[in-house]
Amino acid sequence: MQMKKAIQNHCTELNSIQEFNPQAVMGKFTRVEMCRACHSSTLHHFLSFGLMPKPNGFLTKQNLNKPERYFPLNVDFCSTCGMVQLEEVISPNELFDHYVYSSSASYPMVEHLRNLAKELVTRFSLSQKDLVLDVGSNDGTLLSVFKQLGITILGIDPAKNIAEIANAQKIPTINDFFSQVSAKKILTSHGTCKVITIVNVLAQIPDWDSLFAGVKTLLHKEGTCLIEFPYLVDTLKTFEFDTMYHEHQSMVSVHPLSIALRRHCLEIFDVKHDPIHGGSIRVFISHIGVRKICKRVDVYLDEENTIGISNPDIYSAYATKVYEIRDEMIQLLNSLIHQKKKIIGYGATAKGNVLLNFCRLNHIQISAIVDSTTFKQGLYTPGSHIPVVSESQLDKLNPDYAILTAWNFADAILKKNKQRIKKGLKFIRPYPIPTVL
């Protein structure tokens, strides 16, 4: 009965969206009934973004007038372990068969990954005979640093177009999803891995049991698995919400992750915080009993317990603030539009597309999105249909305001545009409240 009512609500909302985007149609999705961390059924709804297009579903000009699929974007928390995850998921093939995100297109990300590789090589004394596997390796940006440092490398990524780019750059990459099945194949062909990296990918993987069974299979007896992901606690503190989208099926914290790992005889032995993406953590994992557990692990677990990541009150307050931020953003932009100000977006990002569609903004209010990723340029944003252009077009556009749709790289963007800011360009940062910088 509850599912039937939800479907009726989605259909009603789709009719409303079709006024905003006449080509909108309902896409296929699957409802999640079990927590992927602790396997409990104690999932509770706390936030709804309504129907959304795929966040990286950029369109060609020819496809603007063709049906565009929308999917429900609702968020639950697990009252047993504190895991946060989407209520409905889309097929991974739908999301990742062809991908438009490139790690190498962002200078801050390139620097971040370079430092990460150097840290791992130094800390774990890696040598040429050691194999590093990067799960969700994208265009090979991280692996290229390991290669420069003389380490044996292998990538695995489900996006055919991205895997082809990596292989063309002599970064050996398997075009497949990482799972227990693919891990066994890699074990046969390459042997065990001294280091397995899973950077900004965990949130995108629906089947954690197959993932961690694969890690268990491939990880050298003294090896380390490094997982980095946006940290749920930071998200709750800053009220950033646009990292919650169809590709990011989980919003992760240490406690639920540790539960899922222990099912596969793996454990967290260290945790480090990093400011990237609005607040992320690096979690270091080994086979149980191999390494001494760092005190930092308990520090993070204690903080999560103190905050109450299983407490419904924290999620109710968070959802209230999210709706307030959306309303304030709409009010600010409507005021600027009323003043006939020209507004663009800075960064054709998945998170930016969530923000734009949640606020029901489109190409009429936002004239363009500038982005440095070459294969996004010339495309149009999903749902809002805003043209994506090169950063070199910024002076020609001559906007009054630019929304930091890539707010996680705000410092680098502001530094790059220092002279334009002096000439009058103003930037709008969405969080923690919409602010003109």
Count of Cβ atoms closer than 10 Å to residue 340 Cβ: 7
Residues 271 and 355 in one domain: no
Query: Could you give the CA distance from residue 273 to residue 279 in angstroms, rounded to a whole number?
Result: 7
Whether 131 contacts 194, CB under 8 Å: yes
Kindly give, in sequence order, each residue whose CB lies less than 8 Å from that of residue 58, ignoring residues fewer than 6 positions away. 100, 348, 376, 379, 380, 381, 382, 388
Which pLDDT score, from 0 to 100, does residue 181 have? 96
Does residue 156 sit within a domain? yes
pTM equals: 0.90
Minimum mean pLDDT range among 34-38, 116-120, 243-247, 311-315: 243-247
Is residue 6's pLDDT more than 70? no
| Cα–Cα distance list, 342 to 234, 366, 386, 427 (Å) | 33, 8, 14, 12
| Residue 404, domain CATH | 3.40.50.720
Whether 70 contacts 51, CB under 8 Å: yes
Residues 175 and 285 in one domain: yes
Kindly give, in sequence order, each residue whose CB lies less than 8 Å from that of residue 190, ignoring residues fewer than 6 positions away. 131, 154
Q: What is the pLDDT of residues 121-173, one digit of tens each?
A: 999 999 999 999 999 999 999 999 999 999 999 999 999 999 999 999 999 99
Query: Could you give the CA distance from residue 103 to residue 48 in angstroms, rounded to a whole number?
Result: 29
Does residue 197 sit within a domain? yes
How many domains are contained in the chain? 2
Residues 223 and 371 in one domain: no
Burial degree of 82 (CB within 10 A; 0-12, 13-18, 19+): buried
Supply the mean pLDDT for the chain: 93
Confidence of residue 101 (pLDDT cuts 50, 70, 90): low
Does residue 83 sit within a domain? no
Minimum mean pLDDT range among 66-75, 102-111, 427-436: 102-111
Residues 341 and 243 in one domain: no
Residues 241 and 348 in one domain: no
Does residue 394 sit within a domain? yes
Instruction: Print the domain residue range for 338.
Output: 331-436
Residues 339 and 287 in one domain: no
Does residue 219 sit within a domain? yes
Residues 241 and 358 in one domain: no
Average pLDDT of the residues in 299-306: 96
Which amino acid does the sequence have at 42?
A: T
Q: What is the pLDDT of residues 47-64, one digit of tens each?
A: 999 999 999 999 999 999
| Residue 146, domain CATH | 3.40.50.150
Q: What is the DSSP letter of 380?
A: B
Residues 243 and 196 in one domain: yes
Does residue 4 sit within a domain? no
